[in-house]
Amino acid sequence: MDILPELLAYGQDLVSKAGYAERVTFCAGEVSRLPFVDRSFDWAWSADCIGYPLGDLAPLLAELQRVVKPGGSLLLLAWSSQQLLPGHPLLEARLNATCSAYIPYLAGVNPDLHFLRAAHSFREAGLEGVTVQTFVGDVQAPLNSEQRTALVSLFNMLWGQPQPGVSSEDWQAYQHLCTPGSANLSWTS
């Protein structure tokens, strides 16, 4: 389920190419008002939707609980962080601190609502057997074309344009590192 028709069409295409069209059903909908009757499913899971962006998980968990049978499972998967400029942690932290893709979702938000602290929301919702697991992906050059496309999209999403608040020194340093042809391995931050 997703709220965006484009995302659903993309998913349908993937599933169909993988040969699972008969086994997977898609539907448009809003995650806070699931279009299913109570106790419909053995389990429910959300990939990068609930908890992204940050917000109060309690009503969303309650809605997921409503549609899952007693004794069933809830699973939430969410992107938490990345390291894209290895060797330059301070520069990356400063770029992130001024990033317009984050600030509207982070500024003024209670840190207790951060997804990485979400386990307490599960416990407060009365769920039992709460566990948390971290999945880490690592890519190294040479990149294949899918990895390259994904990383270029991520760089563009995060730091495609100079952000208000980033210093000109940091922006130059970033350009120096990441603009093709400008690499200078002797540069240090």
CA distances for 22 relative to 12, 104, 141, angstroms? 11, 40, 38
The answer to whether the beta carbons of residues 78 and 50 sit under 8 Å apart is: yes
Nearer to ligand SAM, 128 or 135 (CB): 135
The answer to whether the beta carbons of residues 124 and 186 sit under 8 Å apart is: no
Nearest to 40 by CA among 11, 23, 63, 24: 63
Give the residues lining the site for ligand SAM (CB under 6 A): 2-4, 7, 30-31, 47-49, 52
The answer to whether the beta carbons of residues 68 and 39 sit under 8 Å apart is: yes
Nearer to ligand SAM, 26 or 171 (CB): 26
Least CB distance to ligand SAM at residue 49 (A):
4
Nearer to ligand SAM, 157 or 178 (CB): 157
Nearer to ligand SAM, 31 or 67 (CB): 31
∠ CA 15-49-95, nearest 5°, is: 115
Least CB distance to ligand SAM at residue 31 (A):
4
Least CB distance to ligand SAM at residue 14 (A):
9
Least CB distance to ligand SAM at residue 83 (A):
19
